[in-house]
Structure 1
Amino acid sequence: MDWLIVKNDLKRNKVINMVLFMFMWFSSSLAVLSVIMAVQTITSISQLYKIAQPPHFLQMHKGEINQRKIDEFMSDYEGVTNWQTVTMINVYGDNITVVQKEKTYNLSDCRLDIGLVKQNEVKDLLLNSKHEKVTLHKGEIGIPVLLKEMYGMEQGDLVILNENDVRKAFVIKEFILDSQMNSPMASSTRILLSDEEFEELSGLIGEHEYLIEAYLIDSKEASSFQTAYENAELPQNGQAVTYTIIFMLSALTDMVTVFVLLLVSILIVIVSLICIKFTLMAALEEDIGEIGTMKAIGLNFADIRDLYLSKYRILAMGGAVAGYILALLISSVFLKHIYSTFGEMRMSALGLILSLVADFLVFFLINCYCKRVLKKIKKLTVVDALVRGIGFEKSKSPVKDGLHKSKKMTVNWLMGVREIYYKFNNWIIVFVVELIAVIMILVPVNLMNTFEAPEFITYMGSSLEDILIEVENGNNLETGYKKVKQVLDNEDTIKNYYEYRRVRVQTVDNEGEFVNLHIDCGDNGGNGLQYLRGKAPEGEKEIAISYLNANEIGKEVGDTIIIFFEDKELEFVISGVYQDVTSGGYTAKSKYGFLGAAAGKYSFSVNLTDKTEVERKADEWSKILGTGITVDPMEEFINQTLGGVVKQLRSIIFTIAILGVGLAALITVLFLKLRLAKDLSEIAILKAIGFSEKDIMQQYLIKIGCVSITGILAGILISNFLGEKMINAVLGITELGINKIELISNPVIGYIFCPLLLLAVILQISWSSLRTIKKYNIISIIKE
Structure 2
Amino acid sequence: MKWLLVKNDFKRNKLINLALFMFIMFSSVLAILSVIVASQTMISISELYKKAEPAHFLQMHKGDINESEIDTFMSEHELVTYWQTVTMLTVYGESLTIISEETYNLSDSRLDIGLVKQNETKDLLLNANHEKVTLQKGEIGMPILLKDMYGMEIGDHVQLSSQGVSKEFIITEFILDSMMNSPMASSTRILLSDDDFEALSNQVGEREYLIEAYFHDANEASDFQTAYENSGLPQNGQAITYTIIFILSALTDITTVFMLLLVSILLIIVSFICVKFTLMATLEEELTEIGTMKAIGIQFSDIRNLYLYKYRFIATTAIMTGYFAALHLSTIFTKHISATFGDQGMYTITILISITAGLLVFVFTNYYCSKLLKKLKKLSVVTALLHGEGLDKKKRKTKSGLSKSKVLPVNWLVSIRDVYQERRNWSMMFVVVLIAVLLILIPVNLMNTLKEPRLITYMGSSLEDILIEVENGENLENDAADVKLLVKNDTNLKSYQEYRRVRVQTSDAEGEKMNLHIDYGEKAGSGLQYVSGKAPETENEIAISYLNAEKIGKTTGDNIVLFTNGKEQPFLISGVYQDVTSGGYTAKATHNFSTLQPVKVTFSTHLKEGIDPEKKASEWSEILGAGVSVNSMSQFIDQTLGGVVHQLQTIVLAITLIGASLVMLVTGLYLKLRLAKDRSAIAVLKAIGFSEQDIKKQYMIKIGTVSLAGILTGTILTEVLDEPIINVGLSIAGLGIKNVELFTNPVITYLICPFCLLLLTLFITKRSMRSIQNYHIMKMIKE
Aligned to 1:356: 355
Could you tell me whether the CA contact under 8 Å between 2:384 and 2:390 is conserved in 1?
A: yes
> What is the letter of the counterpart of residue 325 of structure 1?
F
Q: Distance in 2 between matches of 1:398 and 1:649?
A: 47
Deviation track 1:69-119 (CA, whole Å, cap 9, x = no partner) reads 100000000121110000010011111111111x11111110011111011
Is 1:144 equivalent to 2:143 in the alignment?
yes
Tell me by how many angstroms 1:401 deviates: 7.1
Deviating more after overlay: 28-37 vs 3-12: 3-12
SS at 1:469's partner residue?
Answer: strand
SS at 1:111's partner residue?
Answer: coil
Aligned to 1:229: 228
> What is the letter of the counterpart of residue 42 of structure 2?
I
Could you tell me whether the CA contact under 8 Å between 2:400 and 2:420 is conserved in 1?
A: no
- Structure-to-structure mapping, 1:514-553, within 5 angstroms: 514-553=513-552
Aligned to 1:344: 343
> What is the letter of the counterpart of residue 690 of structure 2?
F
Aligned to 1:686: 685
Tell me by how many angstroms 1:146 deviates: 0.3
Aligned to 1:449: 448
Tell me by how many angstroms 1:41 deviates: 0.3
Deviation track 1:631-654 (CA, whole Å, cap 9, x = no partner) reads 222111111100110011011211
Tell me by how many angstroms 1:3 deviates: 2.8
Q: Distance in 2 between matches of 1:660 and 1:402?
A: 34
Deviating more after overlay: 71-80 vs 320-329: 320-329
Aligned to 2:764: 765
Aligned to 2:159: 160
Q: Distance in 1 between matches of 2:325 and 2:454?
A: 39
> What is the letter of the counterpart of residue 661 of structure 1?
A
Deviation track 1:39-71 (CA, whole Å, cap 9, x = no partner) reads 110010000001101000000000110101100
> What is the letter of the counterpart of residue 432 of structure 1?
V
> What is the letter of the counterpart of residue 636 of structure 1?
Q
Aligned to 1:422: 421
Aligned to 1:595: 594
Could you tell me whether the CA contact under 8 Å between 1:406 and 1:414 is conserved in 2?
A: no
Could you tell me whether the CA contact under 8 Å between 1:61 and 1:235 is conserved in 2?
A: yes
Q: Distance in 2 between matches of 1:711 and 1:560?
A: 50
Tell me by how many angstroms 1:424 deviates: 2.0
Q: Distance in 1 between matches of 2:207 and 2:168?
A: 21
Could you tell me whether the CA contact under 8 Å between 2:60 and 2:210 is conserved in 1?
A: yes
Aligned to 2:42: 42
> What is the letter of the counterpart of residue 162 of structure 2?
E
Q: Distance in 1 between matches of 2:473 and 2:49?
A: 30
- Structure-to-structure mapping, 1:52-71, within 5 angstroms: 52-71=52-71
Tell me by how many angstroms 1:199 deviates: 1.1
Tell me by how many angstroms 1:170 deviates: 0.9
Deviating more after overlay: 466-475 vs 424-433: 466-475
Pairwise CA RMSD of aligned residues?
A: 1.4
> What is the letter of the counterpart of residue 224 of structure 1?
D
Could you tell me whether the CA contact under 8 Å between 2:727 and 2:739 is conserved in 1?
A: yes
SS at 2:372's partner residue?
Answer: helix
Aligned to 1:177: 176
Q: Distance in 1 between matches of 2:402 and 2:715?
A: 32
Deviation track 1:330-378 (CA, whole Å, cap 9, x = no partner) reads 2222111101000011322221111111111100110111111112212
Aligned to 2:77: 77
Aligned to 2:23: 23
Q: Distance in 1 between matches of 2:416 and 2:607?
A: 54
Q: Distance in 1 between matches of 2:24 and 2:62?
A: 57
Tell me by how many angstroms 1:398 deviates: 5.8
TM-score with structure 2 setting the length: 0.98
SS at 2:361's partner residue?
Answer: helix
Deviating more after overlay: 380-389 vs 174-183: 380-389
Deviation track 1:8-38 (CA, whole Å, cap 9, x = no partner) reads 2222222211221121112112111111110
Q: Distance in 2 between matches of 1:76 and 1:725?
A: 47
Is 1:96 equivalent to 2:92 in the alignment?
no
**CA 1:502/1:400 → structure 2, altered by over 3 Å: closer, same or farther?**
closer
Tell me by how many angstroms 1:617 deviates: 2.3
- Structure-to-structure mapping, 1:288-307, within 5 angstroms: 288-307=287-306
> What is the letter of the counterpart of residue 11 of structure 2?
K
Q: Distance in 2 between matches of 1:779 and 1:132?
A: 80
Could you tell me whether the CA contact under 8 Å between 2:41 and 2:337 is conserved in 1?
A: yes
Tell me by how many angstroms 1:399 deviates: 5.9
- Structure-to-structure mapping, 1:385-464, within 5 angstroms: 385-394=384-393, 395-397=395-397, 402-407=402-407, 409-464=408-463
> What is the letter of the counterpart of residue 83 of structure 2?
W
Tell me by how many angstroms 1:400 deviates: 5.0
Aligned to 1:191: 190
Tell me by how many angstroms 1:403 deviates: 4.8
Aligned to 2:308: 309
Instruction: Give unpaired runs (5+ residues) of structure 2.
Output: none
> What is the letter of the counterpart of residue 46 of structure 1?
S
Q: Percent identity?
A: 60
Deviation track 1:685-729 (CA, whole Å, cap 9, x = no partner) reads 111111111111111011111111111112122222222222211
**CA 1:736/1:400 → structure 2, altered by over 3 Å: closer, same or farther?**
closer
> What is the letter of the counterpart of residue 572 of structure 1?
F
SS at 1:536's partner residue?
Answer: coil
Tell me by how many angstroms 1:668 deviates: 0.6
Aligned to 2:484: 485
Aligned to 1:286: 285
Could you tell me whether the CA contact under 8 Å between 2:686 and 2:776 is conserved in 1?
A: no
Q: Distance in 1 between matches of 2:649 and 2:509?
A: 44
Q: Distance in 2 between matches of 1:302 and 1:524?
A: 74
Q: Distance in 1 between matches of 2:474 and 2:641?
A: 30
Deviation track 1:727-780 (CA, whole Å, cap 9, x = no partner) reads 211222221111221211111112211111111111111111112222333321
Tell me by how many angstroms 1:611 deviates: 4.7
Could you tell me whether the CA contact under 8 Å between 1:466 and 1:611 is conserved in 2?
A: no
Tell me by how many angstroms 1:656 deviates: 1.1
Could you tell me whether the CA contact under 8 Å between 2:509 and 2:551 is conserved in 1?
A: no
Aligned to 2:560: 561
Deviating more after overlay: 538-547 vs 395-404: 395-404
TM-score with structure 1 setting the length: 0.98
Aligned to 1:375: 374
Could you tell me whether the CA contact under 8 Å between 1:728 and 1:741 is conserved in 2?
A: yes
Could you tell me whether the CA contact under 8 Å between 1:544 and 1:589 is conserved in 2?
A: yes
Tell me by how many angstroms 1:319 deviates: 1.5
Aligned to 1:644: 643
Aligned to 2:328: 329
Tell me by how many angstroms 1:386 deviates: 1.9
SS at 1:476's partner residue?
Answer: helix
> What is the letter of the counterpart of residue 674 of structure 2?
R
Deviation track 1:380-430 (CA, whole Å, cap 9, x = no partner) reads 2223222221112342526657455223x3221222223223332221111
Q: Distance in 2 between matches of 1:308 and 1:272?
A: 17
Instruction: Give unpaired runs (5+ residues) of structure 1.
Output: none
SS at 2:612's partner residue?
Answer: helix
- Structure-to-structure mapping, 1:600-749, within 5 angstroms: 600-749=599-748
**CA 1:273/1:626 → structure 2, altered by over 3 Å: closer, same or farther?**
same
Tell me by how many angstroms 1:470 deviates: 1.5
> What is the letter of the counterpart of residue 84 of structure 2?
Q
SS at 1:375's partner residue?
Answer: helix
Q: Distance in 1 between matches of 2:550 and 2:472?
A: 28
Tell me by how many angstroms 1:301 deviates: 2.3
Q: Distance in 1 between matches of 2:262 and 2:614?
A: 38
> What is the letter of the counterpart of residue 672 of structure 2?
K
- Equivalenced residues, count: 782
Deviating more after overlay: 122-131 vs 567-576: 567-576
**CA 1:146/1:261 → structure 2, altered by over 3 Å: closer, same or farther?**
same
Aligned to 1:113: 112
Q: Distance in 2 between matches of 1:216 and 1:505?
A: 25
**CA 1:612/1:679 → structure 2, altered by over 3 Å: closer, same or farther?**
farther
